[in-house]
A and B are shown apart, each in its own frame.
Chain A
Amino acid sequence: MPIKSLGDPFKPETDLRHGAECGCGDCRATAAAHVHAADASREAMLERAVESAIVRSVFGHNELNRRSFMGMVGGTTFAAALASVLPLDKVKAAILDELGPPEKPDLNIGFVPITCATPIIMAQPMGFYERYGLNAQVIKTAGWAVARDKSLSGEYDASHMLTPMPLAMTLGAGSVAEPYIMPAVENINGQAIVLSNEHLDKRDPQQWKGFTFGVPFEYSMHNFLLRYYVAEHGLDPDTDIQIRVVPPPEMVANLRAGNLDGYLSPDPFNQRAVWEGIGFIHTLTKDIWEGHPCCAFAAPLSFATELPNTYGALLKAIVDATQYASDPANRKEISEAIAPTNYLNQPVPVIEQVLTGTYADGLGEVKVVPDRIDFDPFPWHSMGVWILTQMKRWGYVEGDIDYKAVAEEVYLAADCKKIMEDLGYEAPDVTYKSHTIMGKTFDPMAPEAYVDSFEIKRA
């Protein structure tokens, strides 16, 4: 069976669009251009996928541009020209073959000191980077905007980021457009809505009119989940409440000072508010969307193309650490490894409550929620599409978005799957699935209809 998206990207008549209307006569006439079952071995398919992704990104996903250009200069000429600037073979080799020694073993990896970064951080003290021949330093960063700027400037080779950030950076929303890739998710769940102890009696979101909330960054799951949560309760996040960007470490101090009534933030700052006796945990984000993505491991596209072996080794180290962190039996050991000043700089019991899920909620109860935070590296394309629908919904991006094309360009599920299988973990065969968020089903195949289905929206 021919797979359209795996057609030869260097031929003008090939249509690489996913789910584009199939011009059937065209299809049959150029049947030779399609990949047939005969050569659709796994390797060949992956190779084609890489080629296709690169060619499509060169033309900014504009099919018409690509086709007319190929028709004009001829695919072979273009392939040669592209190969002269981009080591296509090396990129493919990095993904397909056993990796050679890393080209650049000394790496700087940025992180913001929150538990979401657990795999990236623990990989240093627990020797995961070393295991794959890397000498990586993890560098603490004061905030997301600085992490973004230092990644763009090349000071960091790769960085801990929020899952919406590489999408936003690729689209050029809030920064210059720079092709970014996100081959692995760090954590799923692991956030919470915390309210100040002054609001112990205001557990119904409809009483929150006029509240000021903090979120760590505009392009964050925190922002999108908080907006979603209050909107489902009938509040307009832009007019009924105020949402401020506050760096995570400053959340607790702001809650104490009364500058914030609450926040949706990463841990340990939710648990820290309880530990300090300032706030309580209103709801875990896992109860809004069970298994939602949060933070990610991301790098500029150039890192993967220029240093393919290093990229492969680093991704292996991260995926391995992420899988290790997902085992509840390892969580206590990890808490102690990442609590010191050099990493999170927090009391061990606070980190332990977050990672083990046995925690005080600030209301006098001890809760046991083992999957309060979990770690799963697979970057579902459907999650990327959901994030893009929310960016559209709240007006962060305007105009038509090719949701799936952007998600597939940025979220490198194939790389992650390959590495997961190499390391002996099971990876899903599909990259889209439907998600249930507060009881409402999200179908990744109909993103535009999903955006339209909301009553409160900007788009």
Chain B
Amino acid sequence: MKSLSLNQRAALLSLLILAVGLLLWEAAIPAQKAAGELTQYELLTGGGAPKAGVPPPSEIFAKAWEQLSNPFYDAGPNDKGIGIQIGYSIYRVLSGYLMAAAVAIPLGFLIGMSPIAYKALNPFIQVLRPISPLAWMPLALFIIQDSEASAIFVIFICSIWPMLINTAFGVAGVRKDWVNVARTHELGSLKTAFTVILPAAAPTIVTGMRISIGIAWLVIVAAEMLVGGTGIGYYVWNEWNNLDLTSVIFSILMIGVVGMALDSAFGVLQRAVAYAE
């Protein structure tokens, strides 16, 4: 055991926990009894057929294999492969998110640099920030008159606040000495912003962006369940419609995996902008 590093040992432990957990789960689900001769009534109530219930992990793996081996099939507008559904969701999240970044980061910069702008805009931010993104949905559907654009708008409105607040906080928190040094070097204010303040505030800004993408991914699933059509949220809703828990659990795992991937992408970005003082 001595030869293994801490990371390797932790990974082994994770695997062990997973294996034990899955075994317990598998054992906890009673096997469906095989059907013998059935009366007509039993046949009509699904007799030997499996009832909706929590499936054992083996069934979920089988489902995952089936879905992931053909992720891009398209059997009509209401039945598409998991790859296509996730694609739609990511497209919506990124469009709304990028729009939010384009608004929030410059605005946050302004607020951070100017105490008067901060004081003036703060009440609006404080009122708008706690509104659940889904509360915007009916209004968005009504005004924008397009469910696709409404979903993107909902992502936009929920992504904007963490980025805005973190950017403002990061910019306002840049050490005064550095700004003063820049001033003594007679740098223009634009140059100061880009060469001194931006790099210094970058870690805080990226933290805000990382929080935002996490929230956006949380919200898209709920938004798509509400509006329907396409996306991973719709997929969950459609399978719930059929009380098919195997598919529901499989899609929950997919949501987790994609969310983790998005988060780690920002983790990489965060390390890239971090610097020692």
Q: Are B226 and A142 in contact (CB under 8 A)?
A: yes
Residue in A252, A346, A360 whose beta carbon sits within 8 Å of that of B41 in the complex: A360
Q: Taking A141-B228, A253-B240 as contacts, is the C-beta distance between A349 and B44 under 8 angstroms?
A: yes
Q: Are B243 and A253 in contact (CB under 8 A)?
A: yes
Residue in A138, A142, A347 whose beta carbon sits within 8 Å of that of B46 in the complex: A347
Q: Are B75 and A274 in contact (CB under 8 A)?
A: no
The distance in angstroms between the C-alpha atoms of A365 and B42, with both chains bound, is: 10
Q: Are B78 and A343 in contact (CB under 8 A)?
A: yes
Q: Are B141 and A153 in contact (CB under 8 A)?
A: yes
Nearest Cβ distance between residue A277 and chain B, in whole angstroms? 6
Q: Are B243 and A272 in contact (CB under 8 A)?
A: yes
Residue in B142, B146, B234, B241 whose beta carbon sits within 8 Å of that of A249 in the complex: B241
The distance in angstroms between the C-alpha atoms of A445 and B227, with both chains bound, is: 41
Nearest Cβ distance between residue B104 and chain A, in whole angstroms? 28
Q: Taking A142-B225, A276-B51, A342-B79 as contacts, is the C-beta distance between A149 and B238 under 8 angstroms?
A: no
Please, what's the 1-or-0 string for B7-36, where 1 marks a CB less than 8 Å from any CB in chain A? 000000000000000000000000000000
The distance in angstroms between the C-alpha atoms of A252 and B79, with both chains bound, is: 22
Please, what's the 1-or-0 string for A259-303, where 1 marks a CB less than 8 Å from any CB in chain B? 000000000000010111100000000000000000000000000
Residues of chain B within 8 A of A358, CB atoms compared: 44
Q: Taking A142-B226, A150-B147, A366-B40 as contacts, is the C-beta distance between A274 and B45 under 8 angstroms?
A: yes
Residue among B46, B75, B237 with max Cβ neighbours from chain A (10 Å):
B46
Q: Taking A276-B52, A365-B41 as contacts, is the C-beta distance between A138 and B77 under 8 angstroms?
A: yes
The distance in angstroms between the C-alpha atoms of A255 and B110, with both chains bound, is: 53
Nearest Cβ distance between residue B81 and chain A, in whole angstroms? 11
Nearest Cβ distance between residue A73 and chain B, in whole angstroms? 34
Q: Taking A154-B145, A349-B46 as contacts, is the C-beta distance between A341 and B138 under 8 angstroms?
A: no
Residues of chain B within 8 A of A141, CB atoms compared: 228
Residues of chain B within 8 A of A253, CB atoms compared: 240, 243
Q: Taking A149-B138, A153-B141, A249-B240 as contacts, is the C-beta distance between A364 and B227 under 8 angstroms?
A: no
Q: Are A341 and B243 in contact (CB under 8 A)?
A: no
Residues of chain A within 8 A of B229, CB atoms compared: 139-140
Please, what's the 1-or-0 string for B147-190, where 1 marks a CB less than 8 Å from any CB in chain A? 10000000000000000000000000000000000000000000
User: Which A-chain residue is minimally distant from B45 (CB atoms)?
Assistant: A360
Is residue A3 within 8 Å, beta carbon to beta carbon, of the partner chain?
A: no
Q: Are B45 and A252 in contact (CB under 8 A)?
A: no
The distance in angstroms between the C-alpha atoms of A276 and B226, with both chains bound, is: 25
Is residue A2 within 8 Å, beta carbon to beta carbon, of the partner chain?
A: no
Is residue A353 within 8 Å, beta carbon to beta carbon, of the partner chain?
A: yes
Q: Are B141 and A149 in contact (CB under 8 A)?
A: yes
User: Which A-chain residue is minimally distant from B44 (CB atoms)?
Assistant: A360
Interface set, chain A 112-135, CB cutoff 8 A to B: 113
The distance in angstroms between the C-alpha atoms of A347 and B45, with both chains bound, is: 11
Please, what's the 1-or-0 string for A294-332, where 1 marks a CB less than 8 Å from any CB in chain B? 000000000000000000000000000000000000000
Residues of chain A within 8 A of B227, CB atoms compared: 142, 146
Is residue B62 within 8 Å, beta carbon to beta carbon, of the partner chain?
A: no
Residues of chain B within 8 A of A142, CB atoms compared: 225-228, 234, 237
Is residue B130 within 8 Å, beta carbon to beta carbon, of the partner chain?
A: no
Please, what's the 1-or-0 string for A338-353, where 1 marks a CB less than 8 Å from any CB in chain B? 0011110111010001
Q: Are A252 and B243 in contact (CB under 8 A)?
A: yes
Residues of chain B within 8 A of A276, CB atoms compared: 46, 51-52, 243
Nearest Cβ distance between residue B67 and chain A, in whole angstroms? 12
Residues of chain B within 8 A of A275, CB atoms compared: 45-46
Is residue B242 within 8 Å, beta carbon to beta carbon, of the partner chain?
A: yes
Q: Taking A253-B243, A341-B238 as contacts, is the C-beta distance between A149 and B77 under 8 angstroms?
A: no
Residue in B43, B45, B77, B237 whose beta carbon sits within 8 Å of that of A137 in the complex: B77
Q: Are A341 and B228 in contact (CB under 8 A)?
A: no
Is residue A155 within 8 Å, beta carbon to beta carbon, of the partner chain?
A: yes
Q: Are A153 and B45 in contact (CB under 8 A)?
A: no
Nearest Cβ distance between residue A362 and chain B, in whole angstroms? 8
Is residue A375 within 8 Å, beta carbon to beta carbon, of the partner chain?
A: no
Is residue A442 within 8 Å, beta carbon to beta carbon, of the partner chain?
A: no
Residues of chain A within 8 A of B40, CB atoms compared: 366
Please, what's the 1-or-0 string for B126-150, where 1 marks a CB less than 8 Å from any CB in chain A? 0000000000001001100111000
Residue in B43, B52, B76, B147 whose beta carbon sits within 8 Å of that of A155 in the complex: B147
Interface set, chain B 222-252, CB cutoff 8 A to A: 225-229, 234, 237-243
Is residue A213 within 8 Å, beta carbon to beta carbon, of the partner chain?
A: no
Q: Are A146 and B228 in contact (CB under 8 A)?
A: yes
Nearest Cβ distance between residue B226 and chain A, in whole angstroms? 6
Is residue A228 within 8 Å, beta carbon to beta carbon, of the partner chain?
A: no
Is residue B49 within 8 Å, beta carbon to beta carbon, of the partner chain?
A: yes
The distance in angstroms between the C-alpha atoms of A113 and B79, with both chains bound, is: 13
Nearest Cβ distance between residue A158 and chain B, in whole angstroms? 15
The distance in angstroms between the C-alpha atoms of A365 and B45, with both chains bound, is: 11
Interface set, chain B 192-246, CB cutoff 8 A to A: 225-229, 234, 237-243
Binding site for A on B (CB under 8 A): 40-41, 43-46, 49, 51-52, 75-79, 138, 141-142, 145-147, 225-229, 234, 237-243
